[in-house]
Amino acid sequence: MRTALPTPTFDPDQVAEAEGIDVTYWGELPSLGLYLRVGGQGFIALHRELQQDKGLRRVVLAHELGHHMLHVGVFAERFACGPKQYWATLRTSHVEMQAERWAAERLVPVTLIHEMCMRCCQIGPEQITELAELTDVPESFLTWWLEDLRDRGVLGVSSSPHG
């Protein structure tokens, strides 16, 4: 029997609490999540629907935390983040990409993906399912993250044109 892959320990709720961020649910939110900062205090609003989707909630909460950690003092405006499966379509904003990668690196660390690669020699649909269950995120998010890592040469075989 093979040994289990290490379970990532990142818990966005714990991080939000440690940062003193109020996390609330809004039913009328035009997006899945929203981050704003007022007088140094961070607020995160999540769409009420996310209460029924634990995996997606983890991703959106971590994404909003990314704005909190990365974009302090950079933007005074609020971040309203994405329709459902926004990682598949919304790739036009630099700050949104930064927040999304911040979230992904913590929810699904590259070291974990490497370990899976070493074990299985490839990441196919089966491995995506296993990783998604282990890290408690939607498979579509994981698929985006793997593509993003491959596009940037973080994952996969890299070779120069001259070998």
Task: Please choose, out of 8-16, 81-89, 105-113, 141-149, the segment that lies near Zn ion by the rule CB under 5 A.
Answer: 81-89
* Residue in the block written with tokens 């296993």: 130
Question: In the set 46, 59, 81, 123, which binds Zn ion (CB under 5 A)?
Answer: 81
Burial class of residue 53 (count of CB atoms within 10 Å of its CB; 0-12, 13-18, 19+)? middle
Residue 56 binds to Zn ion (criterion: CB under 5 A): no
Footprint of Zn ion on 92-111 (CB under 5 A): 96, 99
User: CA dihedral defined by 101, 154, 150, 80, rounded to 10 degrees?
Assistant: 10
Measured CA to CA, the distance from residue 94 to residue 96 in angstroms comes to 5
Residue 40: CB minimum distance to Zn ion, A: 20
Of 80 and 134, which CB lies nearer to Zn ion in the complex structure?
A: 80
Question: In the set 55, 60, 68, 79, which binds Zn ion (CB under 5 A)?
Answer: 79
- Report how many residues bind Zn ion under the rule CB under 5 A: 4
Of 79 and 141, which CB lies nearer to Zn ion in the complex structure?
A: 79
Identify whether the C-beta of residue 142 lies closer than 8 Å to the C-beta of residue 108.
yes
C-alpha closest to that of 100 among 37, 52, 58, 38: 58
Residues in touch with Zn ion (CB under 5 A):
79, 81, 96, 99
